[in-house]
Structure 1
Amino acid sequence: MLEQDFELLYLKFRANYYKRMVEKIGPREGSLSATECFCVEIIHLLGGPTVSQFARYLKISVPNALYKINCLVEKGYVERIDGNDRRENRLLVTAKFLDYYGLRDRDNARLMSRIHESFSEEEIERLDEMIRRIIALMDEPEQSGGENT
């Protein structure tokens, strides 16, 4: 039951976010494809990765990553910032992306308001504690089972 409920919660978050993203972006020049949307969000969530880090995270080649990044730069959603040694550029999302990304913030604010209306302070504290523990579990390195898959 927990597995199904957690999956449903995750899917609802994703579905609501992408619904809002599609509503906001719409079919106009310079809009993002689904893959581009995913890539720019990954760049944002990685917190300014290098091209190599982005490619490694997605398990794609550097040339493939560069192609995706160049499209995002052309559309104005990502910029390259020179790194310390000038060999590796950092990738940062632009204000244009953050405007679209803010859709999630508004959705979350509405949900948080409803949670505060529906649950007791103790329930909210317990939920917060569990969420923090789940995040910590997600941040732990995966344990290898000794098998090559």
Structure 2
Amino acid sequence: MLERNFQRVYNRFKLSLYARIFKEDRDGGKDSLTTQEVISMEIINCMNEPTVNEFAAMATLSAPNAAYRVNQLVKKGYIEKVQSDTDKREFHLRITPKYEEDYGDIFNYMNMVCQRIRKRFPEEDVEKLDEMLGIIVSELMKETDVLRLVAGRGSGRGSE
């Protein structure tokens, strides 16, 4: 039962993302993102301001291919390169507000579901669910620690 319900929740979130991607793909404005670009943006978002090389490693892309993709996203205004405070030769990829404005439905749906959970269940249950999800991410999904290993700077906003 747990597996089936967990899969159903996961599938609903994926369907929300995929529907948004395909809707944007059909709309096709000059600044709209391709499916691969949305996936790249999601990787960058999960990694919380990676460098181009960290993004390349995570996405298993060559450095030149990753640099090309990043430059396309910069041209479209969805990410910016921000110089590192510690190493001036290094630049981090920061998502701009334009991404959340244009593709924010992805995040808004999750927030809407969380608001519904808070309304539907007692506060103790919501706190327990929150605690359980934290444990799932930090202890039971060790395979996804690759996000931390590749980024080398701890977990990001999107990864936890």
Question: Same-fold call, TM > 0.5?
Answer: yes
Q: What TM-score do the two structures reach when normalised by structure 1?
A: 0.81
C-alpha separation between the residues in 2 aligned to 1:134 and 1:110? 21
* Stretches of 4+ aligned residues off by more than 4 angstroms: 21-25
Tell which has more relative contact order, 1 or 2 (C-alpha 8 A, sep 6+): 2
* Residue of structure 2 in register with 1:124 after alignment: 126
* Residue of structure 1 in register with 2:7 after alignment: 7
Alignment of 1:68-79 (within 5 A): 68-79=69-80
For structure 2, list consecutive stretches of 5 or more residues without a partner in the other structure.
Answer: 146-160
Alignment of 1:1-149 (within 5 A): 1-23=1-23, 26-83=27-84, 84-137=86-139, 140=142
Counting matched residue pairs gives: 143
Task: Give the SS at the match of 1:92.
Answer: strand
C-alpha separation between the residues in 2 aligned to 1:142 and 1:14? 17
Residues 64-73 or 15-24, more deviating: 15-24
User: Which of 1 and 2 has greater Rg?
Assistant: 1
Task: Note the alpha carbon deviations across 1:21-63, whole angstroms, 9 max, x for none.
Answer: 5546732111001110010121122111111111111122111
Superposition CA RMSD, Å: 2.4
Q: Percent identity?
A: 35
